[in-house]
């Protein structure tokens, strides 16, 4: 019932049946991720859903047990270094490497590695995010590391950004600044972005595609406009004992409202759903699209069988 | 011109931007031949996807409210004069109020009557607008 394919592309990232097991537990289970070129794709899901494993597979940092991935036209299993050179990556967590290095030295190190590194832009990003070159990397707080990672990811103006919980550990002011820098990056490059998050409301204004990962499975992915058109909450009231239409398809959630009111969350064409509810004897009082975060919650709760 | 966006609003974000531009025209904050902020600037200020801002500008251009000067940006057109947009904005506000009335089980007549009574009993609320 829920949409899982975005059609023909062109895609900056596409995987087919990507599967990864740790011990016996599947961390990724047949994932067909599709990130259209130029999209801001938000990958939502609870902690442990497999988001980081998926991103690491795209960079050739984790080896899938089955399935394939194409990233910027390359296969990350055989062309990992090329993929990483053309991608801006903010990894999960603080990362232990380079602790002894000064921040400024680490920036120079990256400048030498990336052919497209823009020194002026790196300087502007560092000032905007208050990243200080004289500090030692190992002495930075979690939020400071995050800001440094954002500078490192953006300063070579990559055509693909893979951001794993990029706002994690940022205080509200730094988060706001980082989102503004991402907007500018998008306006300047027209590039593609994957943002994994368990706090989707933070990236509400940027997202134009949503994928929901649960237990290693991509349970839904769709463009934002399709999501907003198809996923809606209906409130209706009916006579005493009214239970609504019996075989309404696409129902994600049904609950009693106040008094004789019933409330459905449905994936479907609004006209059809309203007609079905009306035909069963109810008066539809309100049809509303869900806020972005509520859409994610609804899709996460959608029944496994659907 | 100060544009504000509310993610919880029922209107899609690009529609909210369009309505905010109309509002700025009606209150006189924007006049014909004034420039709109660049897509990059507005997207960055509001932390939005630039495509969303571009979509709002395209729709406003299609309606003749703004026009694009090659290489210079987007400007308010003659049709964007306060009078012309007044009606459109009033319709948009009325539409939202009607929807809300329906949600509360009220008819259009109930709403109109309440608005009349309120307007008669009340001086224009002062809205100091930046």
Say whether both A164 and A230 belong to one domain. Answer: no
Where is the domain boundary, A172, A195, A224? Answer: A224
Q: Chain B within 8 Å of A231 (Cβ-Cβ)?
A: no
The residues with which B74 forms a beta bridge, in sequence order, are B68
Domain-terminating residue out of A196, A224, A252: A224
State the DSSP code for A136: B
Beta carbons of B79 and B64 less than 8 angstroms apart: yes
Q: Is A25 on the interface with B (CB under 8 A)?
A: no
- State whether A132 and A112 are in the same domain: yes
Note whether A83 and A187 are same-domain residues.
yes
CATH, residue A145: 3.40.50.300
A5, part of any domain: no
A3 part of a folded domain: no
Name the domain count of chain A: 2
Residues A217 and A236 in one domain: no
pLDDT per residue of chain A (306 residues) written in tens, 0 to 9: 788 888 888 999 999 999 999 887 789 999 999 999 999 999 999 988 999 999 999 999 999 999 999 999 999 999 999 999 999 999 987 666 788 899 999 999 999 999 999 999 999 999 999 999 999 999 999 999 999 999 999 999 999 999 999 999 899 999 999 999 999 999 999 999 999 998 999 999 999 999 999 999 999 999 999 999 999 999 999 888 888 898 888 999 888 877 788 999 999 999 999 999 999 999 998 899 998 999 999 999 886 534
A214 close to A26: Cβ distance less than 8 angstroms:
no
Distance CA A284, CA A264 (A): 11
Residue A239 and residue A256 share a domain: yes
Asked whether residue A247 is domain-assigned, the answer is: yes
Residue A173 lies in a domain: yes
Is the same domain home to A256 and A267?
yes
Residue A6 lies in a domain: no
Cα–Cα dist B74/B91, whole Å: 25
Note the maximum CA span of chain A. Answer: 73
How far out from the chain centre does Cα A5 lie?
16
User: Cβ contacts (< 8 Å) between B12 and chain A: which residues?
Assistant: 225, 228
Q: In B, which residues are within 8 Å of A40 by CB distance?
A: 49
Question: Into which CATH architecture does domain B13-81 fall?
Answer: Orthogonal Bundle (1.10)
Under a CB-based contact definition with an 8 Å cutoff, are residues A283 and A258 in contact?
Answer: no
Regarding whether A186 and A88 lie in a shared domain, the answer is yes
Where is the domain boundary, A224, A258, A289?
Answer: A224
Domain locations along chain B: 13-81, 83-121
Q: Which structural domain range is residue A290 located in?
A: 226-301
For residue B108, the distance in angstroms to the closest alpha carbon of chain A comes to 14
Measure CB to CB from residue A205 to each of B8, B39, B49 and give the nearest one. Answer: B49
Strands A251-256 and A261-267: antiparallel
Residues of A in contact with B46 (CB under 8 A): 183, 205
Co-location of A209 and A296 in the same domain: no
Same domain membership, residue A252 and residue A147? no
CATH of the domain at A235: 3.30.70
Residues A102 and A155 in one domain: yes
Residues A160 and A73 in one domain: yes
Is A205 inside any structural domain? yes
Verify that A247 and A215 share a domain, yes or no: no
Asked if the Cβ–Cβ distance from A176 to B46 is below 8 Å, we say no
Tokens of A78: 């055989």
| C-alpha distance across the termini of chain B, in Å | 7
Residue to test with chain A: of B9, B38, B44, most A Cβ within 10 A = B44
In a domain, A2, yes or no: no
Interface pTM, i.e. ipTM: 0.88
């Amino acid at each position: 019932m829920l949409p899982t394919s975005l059609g023909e592309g062109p895609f900056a990232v596409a995987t087919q049946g990507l599967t990864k097991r740790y011990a016996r537990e599947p961390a990724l289970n047949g994932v067909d991720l599709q990130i259209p070129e130029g999209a801001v794709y938000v990958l939502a899901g609870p902690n442990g859903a497999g988001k980081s494993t998926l991103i690491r597979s795209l960079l050739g940092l984790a080896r899938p047990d089955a399935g394939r991935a194409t990233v910027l036209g390359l296969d990350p299993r055989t062309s990992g270094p090329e993929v990483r050179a053309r991608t801006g990556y903010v990894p999960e967590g603080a990362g232990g490497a380079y602790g002894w290095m000064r921040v400024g030295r680490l920036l120079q190190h990256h400048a030498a590695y990336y052919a497209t590194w823009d020194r002026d832009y790196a300087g502007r990003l560092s000032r905007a995010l208050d990243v200080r070159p004289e500090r030692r990397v190992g002495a930075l707080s979690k939020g400071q590391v995050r800001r440094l990672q954002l500078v490192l990811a953006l300063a070579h103006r990559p055509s693909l950004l893979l951001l794993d919980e990029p706002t994690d550990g940022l205080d509200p002011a730094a988060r706001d600044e980082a989102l503004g820098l991402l907007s500018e990056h998008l306006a300047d490059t027209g590039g593609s972005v994957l943002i994994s998050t368990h706090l989707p409301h933070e990236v509400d204004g940027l997202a134009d595609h949503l994928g929901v990962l649960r237990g290693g499975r991509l349970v839904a992915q769709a463009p934002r406009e399709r999501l907003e058109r198809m996923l809606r909450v209906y409130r209706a009231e009916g006579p005493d004992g009214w239970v609504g239409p019996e075989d309404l398809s696409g129902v994600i959630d049904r609950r009693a409202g106040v008094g004789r009111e019933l409330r459905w969350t449905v994936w479907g064409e609004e006209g059809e759903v309203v007609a079905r509810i009306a035909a069963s004897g109810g008066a539809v009082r309100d049809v509303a699209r869900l806020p972005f975060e509520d859409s994610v919650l609804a899709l996460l709760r959608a029944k496994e069988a659907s | 011109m100060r544009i504000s966006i509310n993610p919880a609003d029922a209107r899609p974000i690009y529609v909210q931007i369009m309505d905010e531009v109309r509002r700025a025209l009606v209150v006189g904050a924007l006049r014909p031949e004034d420039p709109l902020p660049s897509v990059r600037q507005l997207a960055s200020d509001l932390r939005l996807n630039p495509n969303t801002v571009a979509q709002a500008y395209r729709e406003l251009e299609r309606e003749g409210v703004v026009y694009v000067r090659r290489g210079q940006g987007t400007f308010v057109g003659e049709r964007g004069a306060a009078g012309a947009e007044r009606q459109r904005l009033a319709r948009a506000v009325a539409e939202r109020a009607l929807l809300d009335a329906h949600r509360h089980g009220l008819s259009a007549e109930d709403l109109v009557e309440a608005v009349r009574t309120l307007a008669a009993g009340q001086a224009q609320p002062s809205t100091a607008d930046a």
